[in-house]
Structure 1
Amino acid sequence: VETDFGLTVTYDWQSQVTVTVPNTYANTLCGLCGNYNGKSEDEMMTKGGQVTHNPDTLGHSWKVTDTPGCKEMSQVKCPTITSALQHQEISKRGCKIISDVGGPFRACHAYVDPVKHFQSCVHDFCLAPEGEDAICRGIASYTSACQAAGITVETWRTDDFCSVPCPANSHYEICSQVCSQTCSSIYTPMECSERCREGCVCNDGFIRSGDECVPMSQCGCLQQGFYYKVEETFYPTKVEKCQCKAGGTVECQNISCPGGTEGKEIDGVFQCPPPTLGTCVATGDRSYMSFDGTAFNISGTCSYILTETCGGDSVKPFVVKIEKNPRQKKKVSGIQALAVEVHGFTLTLRRGKRGTVNSISHHLPAILSDGKVQVYQHGMGVLLQTDFGLLIRYDLFNHVTVTVPQSYQGHLCGLCGNYNGQVKDDFLLPSGHQAQSVTVFGSAWKTSDAPCSDACSEDDCPPCTEKKMKVLQNPNYCGILMLPKGPFESCYHLIDPSLYFQACLHDGCLSQGDTFILCQSIQSYAVACQDAGVTIEAWRRPSFCSLNCPANSRYSLCTNSCANSCAGLVDASSCPKRCVEGCSCNKGFVFDGRHCVPQDKCGC
C-alpha cells in the first residue's frame, strides 16, 4: 500500500508487516513502532506516555480490542532452543543460510544485520519444527529487508526447498517489479518503486488480472478505483449489483432486501440480514443483560417483571415474571420460579415441583390451545415456545433467557428494557422516566409488596478478596469460559462470554467456591452457545462438573429429549431443532416427560 505523502505498508499475508514513512514524520508517531525521534531509550513508550522495558506491558497498552483467548505472551520460550540452534548452525538448508558468509545474502550483511533475523528464524523453527514453513518465512523476511535496502540478493529457493507455487502462466523470480504488469495499469498507469521484490511474474504474452495471469484481451474492468476480473460480480453500493464484462464494460442492476433492510456482501455473495431476534438474560445471583445488550447487576431478591408488552396492538401480549429466592448469608440467590402469561394462560414453573397451568398441576410436556403454547423439558431445563416466536428457557435453578422476534422492538418494558436498539434508555421506570440508579430501576419492576430485599448488605455479600478472585480465574474454575483453545472458543464470536464469566466469579466467590454453583455458571454459557447453534467441545470431566443421570439414561453433550419422546406425546416437527447437553435415554428407552422408559411403558 502506497500513498501520495510517502507512506508505504507491506504485508506478506502471513507474519510480516513493514511500515515506511518519510522523515517529516519524525517525533510525530506512537505505537508499537515507537515515536521515531532518533532516541532508542524511549522507544518502548506506552499509550499513557510511560517508558517500559516489558514487551508485554507495551503490547497491552496499544491493544485496540479485547479478543477472547488473546494474551500478551512475548516471552514464549522454546524448551529445545539449544538443540534447534545447534541443528540450524550445521544445516546446509535452513536458517543458517541467512548468515552464511559465502551464501546468497553475503552482499547484504554489511547493510542489514543478519544475526537478529537468524535468531528469529531459529526461534520460530523451534516452536514449529515439524515443517520448513517457519524457516522459509524467516529467510523470506531477511530477503525482503535486504531488497528494501536496495541490495541484490542471489537466488536461494530451489525446487525442493522453500519453492513458491505460482499460478498458471507465471513463474518465480528473485527480483521482479510486477506493479507495471497488471491489467489495472492499462487504465491508470502506476508509479512503480525502483526496488524489486521476489515473487511470481507472468510469462511473456500474459498480464496479471487479480490473482491470475491472463492474455491482455481477457483484462477486466476498473470501477470507482477498484479492479474486477471478467465475469466477477461485485456490489459497489448496498442497493446495486454489478458484473464485469469482456472489453472492460460493467453492467449493473438494483437489488433490495425485504422490509427495507440493508444487505451486505459476505465473501463475494450479497446477503440480506436474517430476521433478528432479541434476547434477554437473567443469570446467577445478580447478573442481567437487556434485549439491547446492556449488562447490569441487581442484587435484589424479590419477584420481578422480567419483560412484558407495553402498548402496541400489533403484537401478541405476554408477561414474563421471575421470583428470586431469599439470600442467606454467603449464599447465592437463584431463580426459584418463572411465570408466563400468554394466550390467556398463566404457566408457572417452580424449582423442584411440577408445572402449573392456571394453578392446575401438570406434567410436562404441556401443549396448549392447539399448539399455540408448548412447554417441553429440553436438556436440563425447560423450553416454552409460542406460535408468534416467543421463546423462554429456564434451567430450573438460576438462568432464564427470553427471546422475541424483531416485531417486538419498541413494544416491551421491564428489567429486560424496551428493545429499541438504544442502550442509553434501558433503565426506564414504569412511568417512562429514566431511573436514577440500577437499584431504583430493579425496585420499580417488583411484582408485589411482599417483604423482600432490594440490595445485599456487605455481611451477606462481602467483597471478593484478590486471592479468591485469582483462584476462580483459573482454568479449573471460571477461567474455562475464557480459555484460549478451550471448549467454548467456537462460541466467542457469537456470544461474548464476559457476562457469564463475571457472573461465575461473583457467584463462586459468594458461595465460597461451591462446586455446584460453579458448574451451573459454566453450564449456563454452554447451553446459551448450543441454543445459538454453536458446536462446543466437551467440558465436563469425571473430576469436573460430572453430571449424574437418572436410571436408563446417560450424559450426552448433544441430546434432544423432545424429539426422542414417547410416540404421540408431542408433535416431533415442533420440537427444538437444536440439541443441548443433558441426559439422553439409553437405547431401547424413550422419554415420557419425566423418565426414560421402555417404549411399551409409555403413558397416555
Structure 2
Amino acid sequence: MPDGRQAPSDEKFVDSWQQIQEGLLCHTGCPAGSNCSKPETGGQKVDNNECKVLTLENGPFSNCYSKIPPSPFYEECANDTTSHPEDKTLVCRYIQNYLVQCQQAGISVNSWRNATFCPMTCATNSHYELCADTCTSTCASLTIPPSCSNCLEGCQCDDGFVFDGGDCKPIEDCGCLVKGIYYKSGESVVRGDCIEICSCKSGQFSCKSMSCKEDEVCRQKDGVSTCVHDPCGKKKCREKEQCLERDNAAVCVANSKVSCKVIGDPYYETFDGAKFSFQGTCSYILAKTSGVDKNLTEFSIINKNALAQSTHRGAYIKVVTMKFSGHEIVVIQHERNKVTIDGKEYPLPASLDSDRIKITQSGIRGYLVTDFGLEVTFDWGEFFMVTVSSSYYKNLAGMCGTYNGNPSDDFTTPTGVAAAHNTEWGQSWSVPDNDPNCWHFPPCSDEEKNKYSGLNFCGLLEDKTGPFASCNNTVQLGQFAYSCLFTTCFTHGNHNEFCKIMNSYADNCKWANTDVSPQWQQITNCT
C-alpha cells in the first residue's frame, strides 16, 4: 500500500490506491445494503480449517491480533485456497505473510510449522528457526558490526557456521570485505606505501605496521603494493647526481649541466655565473678537474690567447687544447671544419674510442661530445663554451671557476688564495708556452690610472656618495671596477667602451633590485 504496509486483501490493496475524482461516485467492494457475491464462492462465506490457525483464540498468533487483525488475512487465505485447491502452498504463504507483518511490528509469536504442516526445508549446515538470526551470523558481520532489525523466521546456520551470501560455511573459511575489496581467509596484503601489512583470518581483518628492507623500495604491482629489490638502495651517488635503475643495476646519473663561456676579446662567464673581462696573450687553464674525486674522468682545457691581428687592440682565443682519455684535441682559430687529434688533422665529423668521443659540425659551429659528461662548443673564432654535467660539481678549477654554486669564490688562484684583481688571478692560471709576446694586462701610465680612476670615469662606481653607492654592498664591485679601469686604459678612454662597463654595472644593480640614481648618466654622458 502507499504507506509501505502489506495489504491484507485485494480489496484493501485496490482501495488504498483509489484516486477520488470530483463529480464521480465510486465504490470499492460491495456497497452497504447490496447482496454481492464473489465468483469463486458464489457469495457464500468460505471456511478453511488450515487457514483457521490465523484466528485461533489461543493460537500461535494470538499476541498479534490486537495490533494486526487477522480476519482480512484469513478471508483471503480461505477464498484463494478454495478457488485454487491444487496449490498446496497457498495456505503456507498466507500464514507466513501474516507472520511477517507481526514480526516486523516487533510482536512475538509462537511456532506454527511442524513436520506435516508447512514444513520449511533448509540447506546443508542450517536449520529452521521461528526467529532466525540471519544478521549477526554472516561472514560480513565478522568484519563490520551489523545493524540488525527485528528477527524473522527462516533458516539459520548451525553452530560453528556462518552465512557467506550463498550457503553456510565454517567460520574459518570466511573471507573479509574491506572497502569494497574481498580478501580470502588466509590472504595477506601490503597496503599504502608499504607501511602496513594486513591479513584476513576467519573473517577478521587485522593490520600491523611494516617497512621495506634497506635494499628494497615500495612499488605497485598489479595494483597491489609490494616491497621489491632496489638496486639504488645502497648506491651512493655524488651530490648532484641521482640513482636510476637500468637493467636491474644501479646507475648514478647527473641531474643537470652548466656551461662556461668565452666570447670576444675575451669576455668570460664562469660555471657559477660570474662575469668578467681579462686581457692576456699567454696560455691559460680554462677548466680542468681538480683531482678531488679520483673516479671522475680527468680532463684539461688550455686556451692560448693572441692579440687581435686586425686592430691590435684586445686579445682573442687563438688555440684551444683539450686533453682527456689519452687524447689531445686541438681547435685552431680560423681553421674551420677540422680539428687536430693526437697531432693529426681530421675533417669533421670525427669520432674516437668507439664513438665515446664525437666531434661534429652544424653550420658555423663545431661540437665535441663525450660519454663522461664533457661537451665543448666552438666556432673557430670568437666563441668557445665548455659544458659539464653536474657530476663534476665541486670538482673543477681554472678560469671557468670552481663550480660550487658560489660565484664569489671563482677568482681564486691554484693555491686557493683570493686574487686581488683579474691580472693577478689570470696570471696565476697561466702555463708556460715559450711565447716571447706573452703578457698580462697592457701597461697603463700613472697619469692614465689617475685619470681613469677619477670620478669622471671609473671612480664613479666606488664613490661612497655617488649614484652607485647604494648598490656597492649588493653587487660585487671589484670585477666591474677592474674591467672599467682596464678597458678605459686599454682603449685610451674610448667613451663607448667606458659606457658599456657602466651600463653593465647599472643593469646588475637593477637585477639585484637595488636602485641607482639616474644622475650617473648625466655625469658620464652615457645613455
Q: TM-score w.r.t. structure 2 length?
A: 0.36
TM-score for both structures, normalised by structure 1 = 0.31
